Amino acid sequence: MPFHVLGIESSCDETSAAILRFEPGGKRELLSDVTARQEEVHLRWGGVVPELASRRHLESLLPVVKAALHQAGLSYQQLSAVAVTNRPGLIGSLMIGVNAARTLAFTLKIPLIPINHLEAHLAAVLLEGAEIQFPCLGLIISGGHTSLYEVQEGWKDFRPLGHTRDDAAGEAFDKGARLLGLPYPGGPQVAKLAAEGNPAAISFPRALPAWNETDFSFSGLKTSLATYLQRPSPAPVADICASYQEAIVDALVAKTVNAAKRGSYRDLVVAGGVAANQRLREKLRAALPAAMRLHIPAPAFCTDNGAMIAALGSVRLEQGEGIEPEGIFAVEVAPATEARAARGKH
Ligand code: KG4
Ligand code: ZN
């Protein structure tokens, strides 16, 4: 009999629920994926306001779960497990999803599976049936994180290889967009304008500190843009966007290729909102060693979604990881702390 895992995501500003059907060891089939976005709530503030985000999650969550069930043609009673993001993220937002998931699992007497949001971003490639050879290389590039990992068998152990020292890649896009007067979230806006511009128009810095081959740094780039914009006659905005995007993409590609060359990986998985960037996809493919396979989820599964939570949930369920609903809490883990804790293990 197939299993049906409900995945719930509420760590930042997307309320999302999805249902995945799978046979143990067999094919995964996404039956539904429903997301309520909150962009209009945060637009006027230029970034996500945590308290407003949790209030909106509270309103959206149950309708989104019901819509996911409806789209899948299933009833609550047909669910086999609930997987939910419980770290890292905005603590108030995480709590809304976790409490809903606990209540559902408790009421339905089914296992509850706590999911690390970052690990789920990479596991999103399972939705497209990717066959990954472990250990693989993972690059997570979102609004809050920019990290390289070596991922061990079974999506179990994520060994940190490099992190951003300051801003995340998505943050660099968002902050740059803000300086240019473009609305939040800035990544898609910059990317759209960049498509019409000349990436070589302005030479923005590529932060590649010689002392570290796999860490990233983007805050200098943002300052460089702020300084550039003080010029009396800056280049057309499309050229600025294309050049700014190029600097972010080049830094991401260079560090990832360095990490790839240090190990012997067959597969690279790239995920998180910035992985939706077309220019990055092209340049990464061109720069990787020819033998390496590049896996990037479809753009809709790069940004936050419940499907990736259900996908990793299905793996954890196969691994026998379901727990009692009372045993899970929302925990916010600062990326640096998480990385240090993980490093300590190796
Ligand atoms: O993974 P995600 O949806 O949320 C977080 O967990 O942070 O990533 C959101 C980030 C934002 O910074 C957004 O500007 C960026 O991903 N982003 C993009 C693109 N689409 C979304 N950045 C560059 N190019 C894109 N096409
Ligand atoms: Zn994310």
Return the SS3 of 299.
Answer: helix
Give the start-end residues of each E strand in the chain.
3-9, 14-22, 28-37, 81-87, 112-116, 136-141, 146-151, 158-163, 267-271, 293-295
pLDDT of amino acid 161: 95
| Cα–ligand 1 centroid distance for 37 (angstroms) | 13
pLDDT at residue 338 tops 50: no
> Which one has a higher pLDDT value, 39 or 100?
100
Take residue 39 and report the two structure tokens written for it.
């962009």
Q: Would you give the DSSP letter of residue 81?
A: E
DSSP result, 129-192: T---PSSEEEEEE-SS-EEEEEEPGGG--EEEEEEBSSS-HHHHHHHHHHHTTPPSSHHHHHHH
pLDDT of amino acid 183: 87
| Cα–ligand 1 centroid distance for 326 (angstroms) | 33
**Ligand 1 site, CB within 6 A:** 12, 142-144, 170, 173-174, 185-188, 191, 272-274, 276-277, 303-304
Mean pLDDT of the chain: 90
pLDDT in tens, 73-97: 999 999 999 999 999 888 999 999 9
Q: How confident is the model at residue 346 (pLDDT cuts 50, 70, 90)?
A: very low
Stretch among 22-26, 44-48, 122-126, 278-282 having the lowest mean pLDDT:
44-48
Nearest-atom number in ligand 1 for the CA of 89 is: 6
Q: How confident is the model at residue 207 (pLDDT cuts 50, 70, 90)?
A: confident
pLDDT in tens, 288-319: 999 999 999 998 899 899 999 999 999 999 98
pLDDT in tens, 316-336: 999 887 776 666 666 665 443
Bridge partners, residue 182, by sequence:
none
Domain regions of the chain by residue span:
3-122+302-344, 133-297
pLDDT at residue 66 tops 80: yes
Q: What percent of the chain has pLDDT over 90?
A: 74
Find the mean pLDDT for residues 192-205: 97
pLDDT at residue 201 tops 70: yes
pLDDT of amino acid 184: 81
Q: What percent of the chain has pLDDT over 70?
A: 92
| Cα–ligand 1 centroid distance for 234 (angstroms) | 26
Please choose, from the candidates 103, 118, 109, the residue with its C-alpha nearest in 3D space to the C-alpha of residue 9. 118
CB-neighbour burial class of residue 202 (10 A; exposed 0-12, middle 13-18, buried 19+): buried
Protein residue with its CA nearest to atom 21 in ligand 1 = 273
User: Which phi and psi angles does 12 have, rounded to 5°?
Assistant: -135, -105
pLDDT of amino acid 6: 98
Q: Give the other-Cβ count within 10 Å of 207's Cβ.
A: 22
pLDDT of amino acid 208: 67
- pTM score, whole prediction: 0.88
Q: How confident is the model at residue 10 (pLDDT cuts 50, 70, 90)?
A: very high
Q: Give me the CATH code for the 133-297 domain, please.
A: 3.30.420.40
| Cα–ligand 2 centroid distance for 295 (angstroms) | 17
Q: Which residues place a Cβ less than 5 A from the ion ligand 2?
A: 142, 304
Q: How confident is the model at residue 57 (pLDDT cuts 50, 70, 90)?
A: confident
pLDDT at residue 344 tops 60: no
pLDDT of amino acid 56: 85
Nearest-atom number in ligand 1 for the CA of 304 is: 3
pLDDT at residue 67 tops 80: yes
- The fourth-level CATH superfamily of domain 3-122+302-344 is ATPase, nucleotide binding domain (3.30.420.40)
Ligand nearest to the Cα of 302, by number: 1
Nearest-atom number in ligand 1 for the CA of 121 is: 1
Find the mean pLDDT for residues 46-56: 82
Take residue 214 and report the two structure tokens written for it.
């796999």
Q: How far is CA 36 from the centre of its chain?
A: 17
pLDDT at residue 47 tops 80: no
Find the mean pLDDT for residues 167-189: 93
> Which one has a higher pLDDT value, 329 or 20?
20
Domains 3-122+302-344 and 133-297 share a fold: yes
